[in-house]
Amino acid sequence: MPAIRPPNENDILALAQALADAQVEYAVIGGAAMALHGFARMTKDIDLLLPVSPSNNVRLLQALESMPATRGAVGDLRPEWMDQGFSTALESEIYVDLLYVAASTSFEELRQHIQTIMYQGVPVVTLDVDGLLITKRTTRESDVPDRIRLERLRNAQRASAKKD
């Protein structure tokens, strides 16, 4: 297996395309989602928020198996646990966190905040600013600066909407 490395923009795009091709329901959250909203910052993994759904998990595993950067570790995952909503991590050339809950909030509870962003011609599913703020309401120190940036963006968006 190649050495573990932080994901880059190409990894996010390749993952988003593989997930779209396999018709996987998901939302990118965490640092990668922050970058999609214009806040580039270092991230050690790609965080995916997923619905608790055995059929979606089958498609997810197929998508991950199709990617060279994740293919080698798919066999280490426990689909029976994923089907019950237990979050896990795919530890391969890049890390992909497979989350069924973020900040005590499920995919279904965040569904109204899901949006698709076209990024370099690839559809990437993520959360809107309000949804990301929900996932950043934790006690983790690393979430504090993200919350501040997202709150500023939300306030700017609201001010802009009032002008229109």
Q: What is the pLDDT of residue 2?
A: 61
142: Cβ–Cβ under 8 A, 6 or more apart, which residues? none
Mean pLDDT of 63-77: 92
Residue 29 pLDDT = 97
Domain-located, residue 32? yes
Long-range contacts made by residues 27-32, C-beta under 8 angstroms, separation at least 24?
A: 27/107, 27/110, 27/114, 27/125, 27/126, 27/127, 27/131, 28/124, 28/125, 28/126, 29/99, 29/102, 29/126, 29/127, 29/132, 29/135, 30/97, 30/135, 32/7
Confidence at 1, pLDDT banded by 50, 70, 90: low
Number of domains in the chain: 1
- Looking at residue 143, which CATH number applies to its domain? 3.30.460.40
20 in any annotated domain: yes
Structural domain contains residue 128: yes
- 139 C-beta neighbours (distance < 10 Å), count: 7
Residue 96 lies in a domain: yes
- Choice between 38 and 89, residue whose per-residue pLDDT is larger: 89
Q: In this structure, is residue 1 part of a structural domain?
A: no
Say how far apart CA 116 and CA 163 lie, in whole Å. 25
Whole-model pTM over 0.85: yes
Statement: residue 39 has pLDDT above 90: no
Name the residue range of residue 37's domain: 9-163
**Does 53 map to a domain?**
yes
In a domain? residue 148: yes
What was the pLDDT predicted at 162? 85
Q: Quick check: is 4 in a domain?
A: no
Please give the C-alpha separations between residue 91 and each of 24, 88, 114, 123, 124, in angstroms, as whole numbers. Answer: 20, 9, 26, 24, 22
